[in-house]
Amino acid sequence: MNNEPAATAAGQGTSVLAAGAGRTFSNEDQGQPIPHRNEDLLRKVYVAFATGDLATLVGLFTDDFEWHMAGQFPLAGDYKGAEEVKGLFSKIFELLGPDGSLQLDPEEILANDDYAMALVHYIGRRGDKVLDMRNIHVWRVAGGELAEYWFHPRDLRAVETFWS
């Protein structure tokens, strides 16, 4: 497998390099990263979550989308398709209750043609419980849509305690 960056002409006198984590660089932008299209796709996910726009969120998923959450807590499990994922989000809001909150702040997003990963800072409040940690989200991308998601918490026991 060739690990050399791929170069193509992007305009007169301009070359674009496909760099390691899915970022591209152009001579015209003096080495500033140009986000990979799947980074932009993931940013849409977190904006939709932050604004409570469930229709937009599930609209970014393939029809056979799969969501995976390991652990021993009420949200753990495998969810398939938009209806099951909508049910998961309903359960999240139910468990948070009227005074709870869950804020997800993506701090870094890396992407290539097949996967996108985000380092996400969670700040959750539920009754007297607080969850404040960074987690990794891994997303598989197919045909410009999100096909699969895996949740990788920094501290699974803290997540289990928060949601139980």
Domain ranges in the chain are 1-34, 37-163
Residues with pLDDT less than 70, the chain: 1-32
Q: What is the DSSP letter of 35?
A: P
The vertex-113 CA angle with 44 and 60, nearest 5°, equals: 30
At 30 the pLDDT is 61
SS3 label, residue 32: coil
Q: Which two tokens stand for residue 146?
A: 């999100």
β-pairing, 145-153 vs 61-69, is: parallel
Per-residue confidence (pLDDT) for residue 28, from 0 to 100: 55
Could you tell me which residues are beta bridge partners of residue 117?
A: 110, 138
Helix (H) or strand (E) holding 151: strand 145-153
* pTM for this predicted structure: 0.78
Amino acid letter for position 46: Y
Helices (H), the chain: 37-51, 54-59, 81-96, 156-163
| Choices 3.10.450.50, 3.40.50.10860, 3.30.420.10, 3.40.50.10540: CATH for 37-163 | 3.10.450.50
Per-residue tokens: 115: 């996967």
The tens digit of pLDDT for each residue in 50-85 reads: 998 999 999 999 999 999 999 999 999 999 998 999
Q: What burial class does residue 54 get, using C-beta atoms within 10 Å of its C-beta: 0-12 exposed, 13-18 middle, 19+ buried?
A: middle
For residue 7, what pLDDT is reported?
35
Radius of gyration of the chain (CA): 18
Q: How much is the pLDDT for 144?
A: 94
